[in-house]
Every structure is written in structure tokens, then in C-alpha cells.
């Protein structure tokens, strides 16, 4: 491996005499390396993006590189942490990945071996992504990431001055790549596990809604709208996931209310309405017994609050209402108003949008309502499925 790379370097960088004075790829601080291996390999979580940034920033700080990036094959993005004027800067490059043919990363991914180019400006063989051009990097070392027999992506180290590569650098780089691949793979697996949980929750809610034709698919549609809203609001993966679970489960407390009241054709009596108003609290009590759903409890408990304080059960005002509850209140209202109820037919999309706009600022958070209306105003919302 060393000979091949030494030959490549000689081919591409004729000033070989200068190579002996160049700095090696990685600083020889064994304690720092040990810490990075611990950071990269331990503490994986379901948020792959956060795991990725932790890896590249951790490696940047202790390896002596000017830039470190992680490309995850399934995302088509490259996450780059680099030193700019002595500070760590983060940048994400879309569709600038090691998967692009002709790049050094692509060669590493295909061969399963490290690939280095020590003088980018002398290299006629590869194309370089935007991250290299923008960062003004001159030396590049790419290490393939793989776990459980599948290619996950590429870990790259970037330098602004030419470097020399030693056998130990390649071995150490591969060790870093293996540890990083383990952390990325674990978080992807956790993500898949969480998706399975959501599907299970969906199946449970569907079986409950099947008993009442009037609320069929209501929770699923609210979840779909809430997901789009959360994405538009640029909430994190974790926040979006909590809102999805909360939206799916927001009316689960109706399981504790007798069907005669839920399906009543006429107007509810004051006593009956009082019973219906208990469903957010009943739902919260059901869900708070499940550990991994604990973050959804405030959403479920407060999804009928209004920003002017006239909602229930807490009579909370404005930002006292948890963000997720303020968010799902809007698609919950929209979907309820555009669905048939035992006591009235469905309103049209146009009428629902009008009613929503009228109640914004009293019932609904104006900022979130504005985003919902900008997405749906004038457009007929799909009544899926
Ligand atoms: Fe509700």
C-alpha cells in the first residue's frame, strides 16, 4: 500500500526532495487519537446528522488536518468541518459526494482502500468536489467507510499544504474510518428501528379509528401535514420525529370516551362536552407510561390549547403552549373541518382555509399558521390515503 502511494506521489509531485520536509498526515498525539476513537465509536444515537458532525469536528481537532468531511452514501451530502481563520466552520455540500465518478472518494469507495493525492494542483486524474475548491485544499486523503459488508460512505481529510503519507497514517486513517463507520451504522440502524416504531404506532391508531368511520385516517393525515410543517420550519430530525409520534397519538385519549358521545348526531350537552374535553389528559396519562414516547406527552396533553388562553386543559397562553402542540393544532383543525362529522358535512378546502385564517392569533400561533397557509393556500390538500 505504501509503495503504491509513494509511487503515486512521485508521479504527481516531482519535487520529491521537498517531501522529506513535509508534515505527515496525522499528528502523533496518541492520547488525542485514543480520545477520538472513543468519540467516534461510542455513544451512537439515532440522529445520524449529529453523529456525523461529532465525528468530523472531533477528528478535525486532534488529527492536525485543515478539514475533515464525512459523506454518507444514502444522503448524497458531504458534511465538512474545517478551520477558517483559526475557527471551526461547518458546511454541508449537496450532491458533492464521494459517489461522483472520477473523484478520489469514489475510487476509495470502489476499491475499499485509502486513496491520497498530495498535490491536488498537480493531479490530472481526478475531479474534485466543491468542498476541495472552496476550502483551497492541496492534499486529500480519503478512507472508505463500510460496516456489515455494505459501503456507507467516505471519510476525508483535507490539507492546505502538501503532505507526505506514511504507512502508519494509512493504517491509522483506516482505524478512524472503521470506528466512524460503526458509529454511523449504529445510528442508521437506530433510525430504522424508530421508523418501525412509528409504523407500529400507526397500525395501533388505525385499528382504533376503524371503529369510528368519521375519524378514519384523521391522525394519519394530521401526521402528514405536521411533518411537512415541521420540515418547512426546519425543525431538527429529533423534533420532527417527536411531532410525528405526537400527531399520530394526539387523540388516543378518545379510547376512554364512550362511543355514544363521540358518535352523537346532535349537539352535545354541557356534561357530554365536559367528557370530550377530558381526552387530551386521558391520552397523556396513557402515553406517559411508555418510556420512548415520553416527549410526546406535552403535545398530546395540550393540543386543544389556544394561544389566547381559551383552550383546554391548561388555559395556556402563547408560547406557554409547547411548540409541538401549537403546531399540530393547525392541521388538526384543518382536517377536522374538511371531514364529515355526525352533526355536519365537511367544509370545503377554501372555507377551511378562510376559517383558519380568521382564527389565527386567537386560536393558532400566527407564525406557524402563516407557514401552513403559505403551503396550502389556494391548493387543494390531498385527502390521503
Ligand atoms: Fe383532539
Q: What is the pLDDT of residues 286-331, one digit of tens each?
A: 888 777 788 999 999 999 999 999 999 999 999 999 999 999 999 9
pLDDT digits (tens, 9 = 90+) for 256-267: 777 778 778 888
Distance CA 301, CA 293 (A): 13
CA of 373 to the centre of ligand 1 (A): 21
CA of residue 377 to ligand 1 center, whole Å? 24
Q: Determine the distance separating the centroid of ligand 1 and the alpha carbon of 41, expressed in angstroms.
A: 43
33-74 tens-digit pLDDT? 566 556 554 445 667 788 888 889 988 888 889 999 999 877
Please name the residue ranges forming H helices in 210-322. Answer: 218-232, 237-249, 259-262, 270-276, 279-287, 297-301
- pLDDT at residue number 62: 81
For residue 140, give the DSSP letter.
E
Res 158 pLDDT > 50: yes
The pLDDT of residue 246 is above 50? yes
CA distance 84 to 82: 6
For ligand 1, the distance from its centroid to the CA atom of residue 70, given in whole angstroms, is 43
Peptide bond into 385 cis (omega under 30): yes
> Quick check: 219 pLDDT over 90?
no
- pLDDT tier at 147 (50, 70, 90 boundaries)? confident
CA of 253 to the centre of ligand 1 (A): 8
- CA 227–ligand 1 middle distance (angstroms): 18
322 contacts 300 by C-beta, under 8 angstroms: no
In the DSSP assignment, the letter for residue 380 is: P
Cell of 207: 385499528
CB 288 within 8 A of CB 344: no
Q: Which residues surround ligand 1, an ion (CB under 5 A)?
A: 251
Residue 216: the pLDDT is 65
Comparison of pLDDT for 127 and 233, the residue scoring more? 233
pLDDT given for residue 4 in this prediction: 41
Q: How many Cβ atoms sit within 10 Å of the Cβ of residue 97?
A: 23
Distances (CA, A) of 346 to 358, 371, 378, 384: 18, 23, 18, 15
Angle between helices 323-337 and 366-376 (to 10 degrees): 40
How many angstroms does the Cα of residue 132 sit away from the middle of ligand 1?
Answer: 51
- Determine the average pLDDT of the residues in 200-213: 67
Report long-range pairs for 202-210 (Cβ below 8 Å, ≥24 apart).
202/248, 205/248, 205/249, 205/252, 208/252, 208/254, 208/255
pLDDT of residue 69: 93
**φ, ψ for residue 290, nearest 5 deg:** -105, 115
Q: What is the mean pLDDT of residues 88-115?
A: 81
CB within 8 A of 299, min separation 6: which ones? Answer: 242, 243, 246, 247, 250, 322, 324, 325, 328
pLDDT > 90: percent of the chain: 37
Domains of the chain with bracketed CATH: 2-187 (3.30.450.40), 211-376 (1.10.3210.10)
Q: Where are the beta strands (DSSP E) in the chain?
A: 67-72, 77-84, 87-94, 115-117, 139-147, 150-159
196-225 mean pLDDT: 73
Q: State in Å: Cα 47 to ligand 1 middle.
A: 30
Amino acid at each position: 500500500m505504501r509503495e503504491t502511494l509513494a509511487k503515486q506521489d512521485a508521479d504527481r509531485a516531482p519535487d520529491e526532495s521537498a517531501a522529506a520536509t513535509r508534515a505527515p498526515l496525522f499528528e502523533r498525539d496518541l492520547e488525542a487519537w485514543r480520545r477520538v476513537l472513543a468519540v467516534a465509536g461510542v455513544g451512537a444515537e439515532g440522529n445520524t446528522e449529529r453523529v456525523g458532525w461529532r465525528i468530523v469536528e472531533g477528528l478535525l481537532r486532534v488529527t492536525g488536518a485543515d478539514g475533515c468531511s464525512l459523506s454518507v452514501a444514502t444522503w448524497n451530502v458531504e458534511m465538512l468541518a474545517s478551520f477558517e481563520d483559526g475557527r471551526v466552520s461547518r458546511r454541508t455540500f449537496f450532491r458533492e459526494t464521494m459517489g461522483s465518478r472520477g473523484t478520489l472518494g469514489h475510487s476509495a469507495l470502489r476499491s475499499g482502500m485509502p486513496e491520497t493525492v498530495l498535490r491536488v494542483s498537480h493531479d490530472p486524474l481526478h475531479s474534485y468536489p466543491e468542498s476541495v475548491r472552496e476550502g483551497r485544499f492541496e492534499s486529500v486523503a480519503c478512507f472508505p467507510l463500510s460496516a456489515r459488508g455494505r459501503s456507507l460512505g467516505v471519510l476525508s481529510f483535507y490539507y492546505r499544504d502538501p503532505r507526505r503519507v506514511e504507512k502508519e497514517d494509512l493504517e491509522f486513517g483506516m482505524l478512524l474510518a472503521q470506528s466512524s463507520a460503526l458509529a454511523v451504522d449504529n445510528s442508521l440502524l437506530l433510525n430504522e428501528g424508530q421508523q418501525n416504531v412509528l409504523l407500529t404506532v400507526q397500525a395501533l391508531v388505525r385499528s382504533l379509528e376503524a371503529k369510528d368511520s368519521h375519524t378514519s385516517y384523521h391522525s394519519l393525515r394530521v401526521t402528514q401535514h405536521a411533518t411537512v410543517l415541521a420540515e418547512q420550519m426546519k425543525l431538527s430530525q429529533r423534533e420532527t420525529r417527536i411531532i410525528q409520534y405526537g400527531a399520530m397519538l394526539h387523540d388516543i385519549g378518545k379510547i376512554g370516551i364512550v362511543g355514544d358521545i363521540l358518535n352523537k348526531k346532535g349537539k352535545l350537552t354541557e356534561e357530554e362536552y365536559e367528557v370530550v374535553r377530558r381526552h387530551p389528559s386521558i391520552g397523556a396519562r396513557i402515553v406517559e407510561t411508555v418510556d420512548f414516547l415520553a416527549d410526546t406527552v406535552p403535545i398530546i396533553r395540550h393540543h386543544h390549547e389556544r394561544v389566547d388562553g381559551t383552550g383546554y386543559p391548561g388555559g395556556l397562553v402563547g408560547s406557554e403552549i409547547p411548540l409541538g402542540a401549537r403546531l399540530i393544532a393547525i392541521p388538526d383543525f384543518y382536517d377536522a373541518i374538511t371531514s364529515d362529522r355526525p352533526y355536519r358535512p365537511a367544509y370545503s378546502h377554501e372555507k377551511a382555509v378562510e376559517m383558519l385564517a380568521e382564527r389565527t392569533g386567537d386560536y393558532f400561533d400566527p407564525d406557524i399558521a402563516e407557514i401552513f397557509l403559505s403551503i396550502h393556500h389556494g391548493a387543494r390538500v390531498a385527502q390521503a390515503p
